[in-house]
Structure 1
Amino acid sequence: MRTSPTGRQLRLGVELRKLRERAGLTATEAGQLLGVKQNQISNTEAGRVGVSPERVRTLARHYKCGDPALVQALGDMTERKRGWWEEYREILPTPLLDLAEVEHHATRLCGAVTVHIPGLLQTAEHARELFRQAVPEFPPPDVEHRVSFRIKRQAVLYRTPATPYRAVIHEAALRMQFGGPAVARAQLQHLLDMSERDHVTIRVLPFTAGGFPGSGQSIFYSHGPVPQLDTVHLDQSHGPVFLDAEAQLDLYRILLDRLHSRALGPEASRKVIHNVLRDL
């Protein structure tokens, strides 16, 4: 039995529980259908024990799930392959590992930030300065672990095929000179370089846009293979928070679409970044 299931294993259990509850079955009743004890159903839904793709299909059949794409996606989540982030398990907080796992399996990524450059678009120097500003202060080795972890997360934008990424960045974030002018210039140039990639869309929300929804949050949205498996990640001072309830996903889809519609187009956004870079 697992003592510390990963975020993906926990999510699989949550989705299986949702299917069971929609079918109007208790864990005991589900166990009776499968010929297993109630605690095996409960442990599976809590991510404490593994489940095979065949068992997922069996559960879905008993739960009268008529969505084959969802069943296939849930079956794919039973994969037990360890990701690169596992090397950080005794070094960094578990939610950061869960974030890397979510991003690794996402089919598309979206984000909207006000003050910071999105982590997937940060240079190592910019990220290092951010981590140096943490309260309480991180010891130097911890800073370097976090920097290397953040840079490794960016592999999703460089692999083949690369994960499509759409980012809305407020002009305020472009003008924050973390690490001084030299670091800021390198960071802005990196944004310009990334914006030239076919799978990366960067749109700037200028000061002239005025007020906008979600202005006090850094929001990141990971699209799963089916909409039910999408995940919202809110960047909080105490660490990432993950949301996956249907109502929450609907809310943040709307919010991000509105932010995207308020932002400048890609070419106009590049001009803003160029202008900020020129002013440094």
Structure 2
Amino acid sequence: MPAREAPTVRQRRLGRELRKLRERAGLSATEAGSLTGLGQSRVSNIEVARIGVSPERVRTLARAYGCADLALVEALAAMAVGGKRGWWEEYRDTLPPALLDLAEMEQHATAIRTAQVSHLPGLLQTPDYARLTFLQNVPEPSPPHVEHLVSYRVKRQEVLYRDGPVPYTAIIHEAALRMEFGGRSLTRKQLEHIVTMSERERITVSVIPFSAGIFPGAGQTVVYAEGPVSQLDTVQLDTEHGSVFECADAQLGMYRTFMERFEAMALGENASRDFICGIINNL
């Protein structure tokens, strides 16, 4: 397979997981290359996602490493499947790679949970609300680029509308609901949209009111995407410098606990819907 110029987070994750299997087997890249007939260089290039790997070769490597977790092996083999490029590839030359990686992560997730304190979830934003948030970027993007970003965000939302939509849980702090981005009229329409979306199949919206008190984390946006097996979960964090993706076992464990605590603090679905409607009525 030809060398890649810019592997995606998903491609790098596959290589990282194969390296973990090799290291758990106590094999060096040289030993693994000899055992599988691939050679040290090819094994190393696969592990850093410099070159691709076929599903059957993933299975071959897993057998050589003595991995008995068949569910994990098949999940890794599925990650190696090529085929039609995702819709996000049309933005490859115009948007930062991290945004494309986020769309790819959401597309392949078996469930998505997000915790939001100061912004409303991107997958639940109306085009007008999204447009306003992009206008706050520094430096401010040009009007055509803003529309480009809005179209990208709207296309991300397809995972909630497709046949077999991804199960989606949005835990939103009252602070994010109370911020009147763009004035009362725009805020009302945005909150009404969230209420409508909360009634859709497989979408759960929960609210953490101010009265719940102190909350975990530092107020950052967290997206927890579940993989076909728990070892392949991924966390995406929004920062001022762009997206950060975490997949180390310790990090996944920490953010699972973070999400569990957030969910435990939140109101139930019906109470959350009523809470948002109360805010709407007061606008």
TM range (shorter): over 0.9
Which of the residues 169, 176, 180 maps onto 1:177?
180
Which of the residues 32, 36, 39 maps onto 2:38?
36
Structure 2 unmatched runs, 5+: none
1:53 deviation in Å? 1.0
Which of the residues 72, 75, 90 maps onto 1:73?
75
The letter of the residue matching 1:110 is R
Q: Give CA-to-partner distance per residue, 1:90-110, whole Å, 9 cap, x none.
A: 010001000000000000000
Residue of structure 2 in register with 1:87 after alignment: 90
The letter of the residue matching 2:18 is L
The letter of the residue matching 2:4 is R
The letter of the residue matching 1:121 is L
Does the alignment pair 1:140 with 2:159? Answer: no
Q: What is the number of equivalent residue pairs in this alignment?
A: 280
Residue of structure 1 in register with 2:17 after alignment: 15
Distance 1:121 1:39 in 2: 45
Residue of structure 1 in register with 2:281 after alignment: 278
1:86 deviation in Å? 0.2
Which of the residues 92, 98, 101 maps onto 2:101?
98
Instruction: Please identify runs of 4+ aligned residues in structure 1 that moved more than 2 A.
Output: none
- What TM-score, normalized to structure 1? 0.98
Distance 1:123 1:216 in 2: 22
1:240 deviation in Å? 0.8
Does the alignment pair 1:218 with 2:233? Answer: no
1:215 deviation in Å? 4.0
Residue of structure 1 in register with 2:247 after alignment: 244
Distance 1:275 1:53 in 2: 52
1:36 deviation in Å? 2.4
Q: Give CA-to-partner distance per residue, 1:148-199, whole Å, 9 cap, x none.
A: 1111000000001000001110011011111111111110000000110120
1:76 deviation in Å? 0.4
Which of the residues 208, 212, 216 maps onto 1:205?
208
Q: Is the 8 A contact 2:118 2:219 kept in 1?
A: no
Q: Secondary structure at the match of 2:204?
A: strand
Structure 1 unmatched runs, 5+: none
Q: Is the 8 A contact 2:226 2:232 kept in 1?
A: yes
Distance 2:88 2:177 in 1: 29
Distance 1:235 1:36 in 2: 39
The letter of the residue matching 1:230 is D
Distance 1:51 1:128 in 2: 39
The letter of the residue matching 1:218 is T
Distance 1:220 1:140 in 2: 28
Aligned residue runs from structure 1 range 223-234, under 5 A: 223-234=226-237
- What TM-score, normalized to structure 2? 0.97
Q: Give CA-to-partner distance per residue, 1:181-236, whole Å, 9 cap, x none.
A: 11111100000001101200000000000101114211110000000100000111
Q: Report the RMSD for the aligned CA atoms in angstroms.
A: 0.8
Residue of structure 2 in register with 1:46 after alignment: 48
Distance 1:179 1:12 in 2: 42
Residue of structure 1 in register with 2:66 after alignment: 64
Q: Give CA-to-partner distance per residue, 1:65-124, whole Å, 9 cap, x none.
A: 010000000000012231000000001000100000000000000010101001011011
Q: Percent identity?
A: 59
The letter of the residue matching 1:70 is L
Q: Secondary structure at the match of 2:21?
A: helix
Distance 2:62 2:231 in 1: 15
Residue of structure 2 in register with 1:189 after alignment: 192
